Amino acid sequence: MANQTWAILVSIGLGLGLGGVGRLALRRRIRVSWSDAVVAGLLGAACGSIVGGVGHSAGRQLPVVAGAVAVGVTLATLLGMDRWQARQRLPRGTVPELIAGGESHHVEFKSSARYNRHSKQRDERVERVIAKSLAGFLNAEGGILLIGVADDGAITGIEDDYPLIKAPNRDYFELWLRDMLIAVIGAPACATIQVSFTEVDGHDVCVVTAPPAAHPVFLRAGKGQPVALYVRVGNSTRELELDDALSYCVDRWGRQALRGRPSAA
């Protein structure tokens, strides 16, 4: 009995230690509570103990392997918790409810994705604004972009965009949107974005959900053009100057964010 109690206390201690160290090591990348960190540490300690126990049963001592497993599982669990909680922090509700709440730090409206309502034709600047908005959400706390909704909340729909893509339907609109985003922000960032559609007042509205990115997302205007970092600030998206972008990346993701050559993702 005493041995079992001692083993439980040791496991709890390891869980606390692993959770605390993991939370400290990832402090620039995650925002989880101490209780969540302890849960992650306990899971890591349990997995490490299992590996150590298996090795002991086989007549082998695997303290280094068991320790590595414990740390790895703890860090992976913390990162997974943070991503899940980040998605939970995004606004929830129907499209009409999101529209009624207006634009905010997590919600933005765009009346179209390709069609310029003033010139009555395709405009690459409109496409770039869509990419900027999503890059801003990815580099901040995530957000939801409603395409087919004017700034004042009026429903415009994306029907004017349909003639400007291969086929006038939702599937081809999503295909075009993802291809466009891959070209300017990269496939890894685009892979985390969710696209859905809903009908409001007889119009198609595209709902694009962007979670917080695990790494800086740079936007490239075109081939040979310099990359830029956009961040959602309040209810607007802003481009950061080089010095501010460097500081933001270090504060948001740590110094590892500056390693390697900046790309479109």
CB-based contacts of 182, cutoff 8 Å, min separation 6 = 190
End-to-end, the C-alpha distance of the chain in Å comes to: 55
Q: Model confidence over 122-134: pLDDT tens digits?
A: 999 999 999 999 9
Residue 65 vs residue 237, higher pLDDT: 237
- Per the CB < 8 A criterion, the answer to whether 55 and 62 are in contact is yes
C-alpha distance from residue 261 to each of 163, 197, 226 (Å): 38, 36, 12
Residue 260 has pLDDT above 80, yes or no: no
Mean pLDDT check: name the lowest of 16-25, 60-69, 75-84, 225-234.
60-69
Q: Which two tokens stand for residue 65?
A: 């392997």
**What's the whole-number mean pLDDT along residues 246-250?**
89
Residue 264 has pLDDT above 60, yes or no: no
pLDDT band at 164 (very low <50, low <70, confident <90, very high): very high
pLDDT at position 35 is 78
Distance between CA 179 and CA 261 in Å, rounded? Answer: 23
Mean pLDDT comparison of 1-15, 74-88, 211-225, 247-261, highest-scoring range: 211-225
Please give the single-letter amino acid code of residue 257. A
Q: What would the DSSP string read from start to end of the chain?
A: -HHHHHHHHHHHHHHHHHHHHHHHHTTTT----HHHHHHHHHHHHHHHHHHHHHHHHTT---HHHHHHHHHHHHHHHHHHHHHHHHHHHS--S-HHHHHHH-S-SSEEEES-SSEETTTTEE-HHHHHHHHHHHHHHHHTT-EEEEETB-TTS-B--STTTGGGSSSSSHHHHHHHHHHHHHHHH-HHHHHT-EEEEEEETTEEEEEEEEPPPSS--EEE-STTPPEEEEEEETTEEEEPPHHHHHHHHHHHH-GGGGSS-----
Domains of the chain as residue ranges with CATH: 2-87 (no CATH), 92-258 (3.30.950.30)
pLDDT band at 219 (very low <50, low <70, confident <90, very high): very high
pLDDT at position 41 is 81
pLDDT at position 7 is 56
Mean pLDDT comparison of 69-78, 144-153, 220-229, highest-scoring range: 144-153
CB-based contacts of 95, cutoff 8 Å, min separation 6 = 146, 149, 198, 200, 205, 207
- Per the CB < 8 A criterion, the answer to whether 14 and 65 are in contact is no
Residue 251 has pLDDT above 80, yes or no: yes
**What's the whole-number mean pLDDT along residues 100-118?**
95
- Burial letters 24-52, b for 16+ CB under 10 A, else e: eebeebbbbeeebbbbbbbbbbebbbebb
pLDDT band at 215 (very low <50, low <70, confident <90, very high): confident
Q: Which two tokens stand for residue 189?
A: 């960032």
**What's the whole-number mean pLDDT along residues 227-244?**
93
- Is this structure's pTM higher than 0.85? no
- Average pLDDT score, the chain: 85
Task: Give φ, ψ of 259 to 5 degrees.
Answer: -80, 140
**What's the whole-number mean pLDDT along residues 33-48?**
80
Q: Model confidence over 191-201: pLDDT tens digits?
A: 999 999 999 99
